[in-house]
Amino acid sequence: MHEDKQYYPDAEKVFGEGVEALVMEEDAQALDVPIIAPPKQANFQVYERGMLEQNYSMEFLADMSEKPDLIRSVSICGHLHSGKTLLSDMIVQQTHQAPERG
């Protein structure tokens, strides 16, 4: 019969034994508490440093602008905390000379 059909598996079959599944008919969350809390403002400071000395010349870049077929665009994609910034920093480090510390 129609009433005997099971459209969705039980929580125990999906998540394993010992799982407690609660089915609530009404919202248990108070109306004054947002479902998604607004983001908190992070305080940070920006420190300005001098530009790093490049290992390439501006003449080279000017020559590259005349040959757009030689220019390549790069995109670094990845999951959160997978090393995208570290890779970018290492690329910049390879193309710039480190400032001397005194």
State mean pLDDT over 70-99.
81
| C-alpha span between 95 and 74 (Å, rounded) | 15
Q: How many CA atoms lie within 13 A of 22 on its CB side?
A: 5
> How many other CB atoms sit within 10 Å of the CB of residue 72?
5
Residue 19: per-residue pLDDT: 77
| C-alpha span between 13 and 18 (Å, rounded) | 10
Judged by DSSP in three states, 97 sits in strand
State mean pLDDT over 56-67.
78
Give the N- to C-terminal CA distance of the chain in Å, as an integer: 85
Residue 1: per-residue pLDDT: 63
Q: Could you tell me if 52 and 98 are in contact, meaning their C-beta atoms sit under 8 angstroms apart?
A: yes
Residue 55: per-residue pLDDT: 67
